[in-house]
Chains A and B, each alone.
Chain A
């Protein structure tokens, strides 16, 4: 593994995003849409096949809010035909970035790259700048989500707030009225932080009980939100890998993958974080690098592209992208073991599957999570309508565009309810929270789980019986 040139602890990013990796920053790169390889823009032949899959087009029926409409604006900017304006900036942030259009596009337009370049241009030109927005962006993108220790500290504070009853009292005393309108709306959606974070549940290296002569070596990525809110999913991920004979490496302190940054126009930090991630986990040392969050995985898979211009990292980034697998995808690839049917109670459970956009559209992993679910004894899988349509979570979209996010959430809940399932399986923390919040607000008992939790439970039941 190449040595990192910094003295920071692994995973942590000191100072600004850039001075963490002083070398290999390209010299004043020409940025923005005009500098983009024109063939990517030209790839869109505006046939309109994307329209029926685009949530914002379905909502408004206006071309501007459609993939081909947005691309035409991007192209007009690249051509110098129009200026990038505030309206353009708002349009780019009205797009969910769900990538449903990329699954529908016969021409194979790389919308993900267009979208990230466009948002990056919006940020570079400061089209949407306001003191409040700038402060929030700095706090989230540059401060919290570049420093895993700080993020965990904030998570711990939130946990204390929740377990000491302070949150309960705050709500009971209706002090929420004192909050500004935006926060008042968001406060009830605050996720419940788990008592233990991933590093408290998972040892840096764990070996399977019955080790094969040459076990598969895999690295598990614990994520940011997943680490604080869904550490149990990370634990389950390690468990199912162990149950399938893998030697599992889980670095205790991992940086954010940079997805949040890339999707929000902070390309610079995204690149720095990708380097940091590769410094921490040498892709050549593992058979696979496992992600269990759809949104992270979709970004992590493209490190090859993000670092292609960086001589020091390009080769490792390419290897990284080859090795990066979603947990369900990897399990199916290695022919995972189906748990014994006799190990679970006879009663079956009705489950439906909501596809995370960035798992099905971003990573084209759609069949495998269903195979995992179907392997779990007692699970009866019911397909739901519009399973591949966005639930409205879309990263921080539910915070920035509450109206559209709420509309999508209700539409999603309608389809999920129609299946009659009591359990919704989904493989991305954003979707998980969005759907769970929706059911909670409606006073319904439907639970939300990651498919891997169900598989891990089945393996555990098997062991308990043995």
Chain B
């Protein structure tokens, strides 16, 4: 096989691309990992050609499963010898195309590395392998009377390694922050196969550069995260969930501003518009008001007295800003049901149209009401069906364009609308992604947000840590100038 070697195709845009010596590479991988852990047949690898992102698909050359950091290291070394790109993957639920393979890539799947090794109640930490499921981490902490707050929508199946690589958020970001805020340490395998630990169990640790944070949100482009040391919190003693219904979108947005202005930080402050409410209710049947224009799902947690006090104040603010009804969850089970229903929002919207293009723009909270109105205007302008839901409390919106990827004319309008949403976001001092990552989906807009110097700095970091450009190439940004699709 005499095929071009990798540097000619760092972005994986050549569909027929195959790394040199592919059979030898597969042979060596099989020798290292065992035949059961190397998949190459069409039926086996085709289902690894996508993640949770709409309309992105690329079949890899092979899929391999590693059991520990040593095997990950061996895979990276082999890939380097054969100049094959490596795309790391967990459960494949990402929403920006971060784990969608590039052409000719080896998918390095870490789901078999799923051990939770330690819950350290004395230091409030938990150590787990990268493939451990987020929900299990929450449950293990919970069983020890502790709390792991980040709760991305896909937490029932997402892996902690994927959460860290994408710096995932969730419903509790407003009060508790995102995955980054809970990562105390990482085991990372670098592009050359060396294995290093970054961070420690120490609450204070300023020894050397903070490289740990460099890898959080690096989307598999700088190294492969194989283990994480997480910070846990004491479990809040009480929580109360409220569901407020609004006849006007603006009223809901104003309520959120008033809650923040009253110096209340609820743990969750979620918002769903009418279309989303209806789809979620069709699936979850938890009694959401189908005729409401907007609902707010609000949860406060903490000391029981504080929870009672906050819930009361929030309820008053909702009513004084025009909520038509405010319902209190009667039990913990009902509260969980409501949160679970909310987590299904994105997928439930697929009930309306086959393709759901989910955006993740985030604006300073003071800009929320204006941004929501802007999205509505953009929908009308491009004659598109856009549903919006999101984390109102932290300014993170998920305008979701409901479309059909097979309708090329409509998909063009989708692209224009997306560009308009990005422009409006940036004009308001926002960011193109709050919690899903840049991946492939938002790559064209990154430079506009960062500006030339910061953008160049990212690429400098990438070149330093991955000089061969083999780790998830073509994600976040392109290395070769000519292939840039910006503006």
Q: Which residues of A contact B (CB under 8 A)?
A: 39, 42-43, 45-49, 51-52, 61-64, 66, 68-70, 72-73, 76, 82, 85, 87-88, 91, 105-108
Contact = CB atoms under 8 A, between A and B. Distances in A.
Given A45-B347, A106-B347, A108-B282, A62 B157 contact: no
Interface stretch (B48-56, B243-251, B371-379, B414-422): B48-56
Interface in B335-365: 344-348, 350-351, 354-356
Contact of A106 (B42, B65, B111, B283): B283
In the A-B complex, the 6 residue pairs with the smallest Cβ-Cβ separation, listed nearest first, are A69-B47, A106-B347, A107-B350, A63-B47, A106-B344, A42-B354
29 contacts: A42-B404, A42-B406, A45-B52, A45-B350, A45-B355, A47-B52, A47-B93, A47-B154, A48-B92, A48-B93, A49-B154, A51-B91, A61-B111, A63-B48, A64-B43, A64-B44, A64-B46, A72-B47, A72-B50, A76-B46, A82-B46, A85-B43, A87-B41, A106-B279, A106-B345, A106-B346, A106-B350, A106-B351, A108-B282
B194 interface: no
Most buried by A among B43, B46, B65, B135: B43
Given A47-B346, A48-B92, A106-B350, A88 B43 contact: yes
B133 interface: yes
A72 B44 contact: no
Nearest to B350: A107
B303 interface: no
Contacts of A63: 47-48, 92
A45 B283 contact: no
A69 B111 CA distance: 15
Interface in B304-354: 344-348, 350-351, 354
Most buried by B among A51, A70, A82, A88: A51
A386 to B, nearest CB: 14
A82 B42 contact: yes
A134 to B, nearest CB: 23
Most buried by B among A51, A69, A82, A106: A106
A108 B44 contact: no
A85 B93 CA distance: 28
B112 interface: yes
Interface string B110-122: 0110000000000
Given A43-B350, A52-B133, A106-B284, 15 more contacts: A45-B350, A45-B354, A46-B50, A46-B51, A48-B52, A48-B93, A48-B154, A48-B157, A49-B347, A61-B65, A70-B47, A72-B47, A106-B344, A106-B346, A108-B351
A39 B158 CA distance: 27
Interface string B240-282: 0000000000000000000000000000000000000001101
Contacts of B133: 52
B310 to A, nearest CB: 30
A404 to B, nearest CB: 16
Contacts of B346: 47, 106
B463 interface: no
Contacts of B446: none
B44 A62 contact: yes
A49 B54 contact: no
A88 B41 CA distance: 11
A52 B406 CA distance: 30
Say which size band chain B's interface belongs to.
35 or more
A46 B157 contact: no
A66 B93 CA distance: 13
A114 B406 CA distance: 20
A52 B354 contact: no
B233 interface: no
A66 B39 CA distance: 15
B47 A73 contact: yes
A77 B51 CA distance: 19
A83 to B, nearest CB: 9
A73 B282 CA distance: 28
Interface in B71-123: 91-93, 111-112
B448 interface: no
Contacts of B44: 62, 64
A66 B47 contact: yes
Contact of A47 (B42, B280, B347): B347
Contact of B347 (A52, A72, A107): A107
B339 to A, nearest CB: 14
Contact of B46 (A47, A48, A49, A72): A72
A288 B46 CA distance: 46
B31 interface: no
A87 B154 contact: no
Nearest to A88: B43
A4 to B, nearest CB: 39
Interface in B395-420: 404, 406
B459 interface: no
Contacts of B54: 45
A173 B43 CA distance: 47
A32 B48 CA distance: 24
A323 to B, nearest CB: 23
Contacts of A82: 42-43, 46
Contacts of B279: 106
Most buried by B among A63, A73, A87, A107: A63
B381 interface: no
B46 A105 contact: no
Nearest to B279: A106
Contacts of A73: 43, 46-47
Contacts of A72: 46-47, 49-50
Contacts of B347: 45, 47, 49, 105-107
Most buried by B among A39, A46, A47, A49: A47
Contact of A49 (B41, B48, B111, B156): B156
B98 to A, nearest CB: 13
Contacts of B135: 52
Given A39-B354, A47-B52, A106 B348 contact: yes
Contacts of B282: 108
A48 B350 contact: no
A64 B47 contact: yes
Most buried by B among A46, A61, A76, A87: A46
Given A45-B347, A47-B93, A49-B156, A68 B47 contact: yes
B95 to A, nearest CB: 8
A47 B356 CA distance: 11
Most buried by A among B154, B158, B354: B354
A5 B283 CA distance: 42
